[in-house]
Structure 1
Amino acid sequence: MKVWILRHGEAKPQARTDADRELTAKGREEVLRSAAHLMGQPLQQIIASPYVRARQTAELVRQVLGFTDPIVTVPWLTPESNPHKVLDQLEAYSDENVLLVSHQPLVGALIGLAVHGSLQEAQPMHTASLAQLEADLPLAGAMELVDVRHAE
């Protein structure tokens, strides 16, 4: 299984709620640069946080890749979600190659847990940073961090 983890692009600092924050023009540009690294990859699912900025990020990636399947929006990819529960949820996708679109601190903690088996070794992830992990199964400490690309 291959898992790509993409942090949303830069978002506006203010909105009615944190979940309602939208991408800025710079954030859209960041996402487009990161999406280019997914061209030609065997992606089968795009799974996103329900927050507006993550859904906008996922939709931009979907458009760039010409991905025809709908984006799957799940409640377990919000900023404060439990990384252990995310790995548990990923078991349902263990036969697929998926892109997760989410937020800090979750994405950094999730990568640290998947690769090192610990929440104490979080991976730094800037806006629109893209990480690629591989493993037979999504288990804590059993995944390999193949690559991390930061939007410039």
Structure 2
Amino acid sequence: MKLIIMRHGQASWSAPSDSLRPLTEAGRHEVRHTVEQLQGEGVNRIVASPYLRAQQTADIASEILGVEVDTINGITPDDRPADAIGQLPEQGNVLVVSHMPLVSALTALLCDGVPSDGPGFGTADAAVLSLEMPAAGLASLQRMLPA
């Protein structure tokens, strides 16, 4: 299976709470750029954090890839990577839309077996992982896609 871990696009700081921060126009543009690079990856499922900016990122991906979005509560910025793994689909080619620092720590946990500092993720960056199933240390980083 492939697991593509993507950080949401650039978001505005003008919102009543962190969970309600919307994408900026630049954020929408960078998300489109990244997702267009994913068109050949065979994505058949998208899961996203419930935060507005992640939902908006996933909606753009859904529009481009023709795949519906499922919301997962356990992949927000403050969630633990080990807990997040347990909520990920166990088959298919899945796009996961989430936040820093979770995207970095989750990538490290899946590839290296420890939730240390993983690769840096700019807004709308994505990591393409190859793995048999989501579990610590079982993934291989195939490539990073910058926005």
TM-score (normalised: structure 1): 0.93
Q: Deviations over 1:36-91 (max 9, x none)?
A: 11113211110000000000000001111233xx310110110011100111222x
Q: Does the residue aligned with 1:75 lie in a helix, a strand or coil?
A: coil
Q: Determine the structure 2 residue equivalent to 1:76.
A: 74
Q: Does the residue aligned with 2:132 lie in a helix, a strand or coil?
A: coil
Which is helix-richer, 1 or 2? 1
Q: Where do residues 23-62 of structure 1 align in structure 2 (5 Å cutoff)?
A: 23-62=23-62
Kept after mapping to 2: 8 A contact 1:113/1:121: no
Alpha-carbon separation, structure 1, partners of 2:64 and 2:92 = 20
**5+ residue gaps in structure 1?**
none
Q: Determine the structure 2 residue equivalent to 1:15.
A: 15
Alpha-carbon separation, structure 1, partners of 2:74 and 2:22 = 20
Alpha-carbon separation, structure 2, partners of 1:149 and 1:99 = 13
Alpha-carbon separation, structure 2, partners of 1:27 and 1:95 = 29
Kept after mapping to 1: 8 A contact 2:72/2:87: no
Q: Determine the structure 1 residue equivalent to 2:86.
A: 88
- Aligned pairs, how many? 147
Q: Using the TM superposition, give the Cα deviation of residue 148 of structure 1 relative to its aligned residue in structure 2, in angstroms.
A: 0.5
1:140 maps onto 2:136 in alignment: yes
Correspondence for 1:122 among 94, 115, 118: 118
Alpha-carbon separation, structure 2, partners of 1:63 and 1:3 = 19
The letter of the residue matching 1:136 is E
**5+ residue gaps in structure 2?**
none
Runs of 4+ in 1 over 4 A off after TM superposition: none
Alpha-carbon separation, structure 2, partners of 1:31 and 1:137 = 26
Kept after mapping to 1: 8 A contact 2:43/2:65: no
Q: Using the TM superposition, give the Cα deviation of residue 117 of structure 1 relative to its aligned residue in structure 2, in angstroms.
A: 1.0
CA RMSD between the two structures: 1.0
Q: Determine the structure 1 residue equivalent to 2:96.
A: 100
Q: Using the TM superposition, give the Cα deviation of residue 101 of structure 1 relative to its aligned residue in structure 2, in angstroms.
A: 0.3
TM-score (normalised: structure 2): 0.96
Percentage of matched positions with identical amino acids? 39
